[in-house]
Structure 1
């Protein structure tokens, strides 16, 4: 059995790059959308999924229209919720508070935000629902959570992956039965643009 392909692509540049954009719904730049469309050349997939946030949903819709494929937006593919930090530049945060978050994102989640384990749970649920080769337009944190769930990397290891705008991570999955996580293999990783 060849398994199914899962292509995870980070959305293109938003209108205000460099901010902590979790659940804040900033629209994408037209150039970022166009870059996402171009990045799919040569990729095989049977459906297009995305986060429901416009910076991921808009390019997903365009790609699906070009390919004449089904497209569905799904909240489970959203970025980590940064709560009160959403929309702020990292330099605006207290460095000590920010360091505690990066050291232990479960115990020191952003105020009013989401714990790392909550993001991993959402991603796990989304992965278990995949039944065919898919392109998912999503976010860097979500892509890192997929790597954590499928390969057992901890948060420090996955944050070492540089995932610029339009980064593309291709995986091959062998779905399991009984609600177990699929076996997975990294096929390709292109870090995208900063």
Structure 2
């Protein structure tokens, strides 16, 4: 059985939507990085999204584990016109759309962005390809809040709305066991 250990990248300290915009992570908490590294299996392979906050976090926690190429399919949601805007700005300019985005996630998308369903399909296809290329290997996937939540929803068989109730803190580990059907072992574990 393959286990995917989803790790959310280090904090960016941004106070706005950050989707495909490439911002750095703060990796100054060396003690936390060491705890995350120690909590993850030594023989797992490491993969990350191709955004530097994930790449740099994967490098910091990866140690001597085998490293796979970066995957654009593991990126955060594409927030389109909302990327870089504060949540209050979005709610003011697009009140109905922003409310629907959070209350009825699924097919609702930001202008020029992607919906939950689009992001879930992208992330699911990418991680399935990584698993297929690394049979019987555990995988450490360093990614983003939204990307991880899409996999929680899928593995737990819950709606996107229910998945959004979960916290996914920076540096947290979310463990999904891949069986004939996936199952969630733990969510948002901070070592």
Bin for the TM-score computed over the shorter chain = 0.7 to 0.9
**Conserved in 2, the CA contact under 8 Å of 1:77 and 1:122?**
yes
Say whether the 8 Å CA contact 1:8–1:143 is kept in structure 2: yes
TM superposition shift of 1:157: 0.7
The alpha-carbon distance between structure 1 residues 55 and 33, as it changes in their structure 2 partners (threshold 3 A), is farther
Aligned pair count reads 182
Q: Which moved more, 1:28-37 or 1:138-147?
A: 28-37
Which SS does the other structure have where 2:38 is aligned? coil
Report the Cα distance in structure 2 between the residues aligned to 1:188 and 1:107, rounded to whole angstroms: 27
Q: What's 2:22 paired with?
A: 25
List runs of 5+ in structure 2 lacking aligned partners: none
* 1:99-147 deviation line (CA, Å, top 9, x unaligned): 1211233443100101111111112212322132010110010111001
Partner of 1:40, secondary structure, is helix
Contact 1:61 1:71 in 2 (8 A): no
Tell me how far 1:33 sits from its aligned partner. Answer: 7.5
Give the drift of 1:152: 2.2
1:144-192 deviation digits (Å, cap 9, x = unpaired): 1001222321111100101121121012212xxxxxxx42222222355
Runs of 4+ with >4 A deviation:
none
1:110 corresponds in structure 2 to: 110
1:39 correspondence with 2:44: no
Decide whether aligned partners of structure 1 residues 58 and 33 sit closer, same or farther in structure 2, where only a CA change above 3 A counts.
Answer: farther
**Counterpart residue number, 2:85:** 88
* CA RMSD, Structure 1 to Structure 2 (Å): 2.1
- Normalising to structure 2: TM-score of the pair? 0.85
Gaps of 5+ in 1: 175-181
Deviations 1:67-93 (Å, cap 9, x if unpaired)?
A: 242232101111110001001111111
Counterpart pick for 2:11 among 10, 13, 22 = 13
Q: Which has the larger displacement, 25-34 or 122-131?
A: 25-34
Pairing 1:165-184 to 2, within 5 Å after superposition? 165-174=170-179, 182-184=180-182
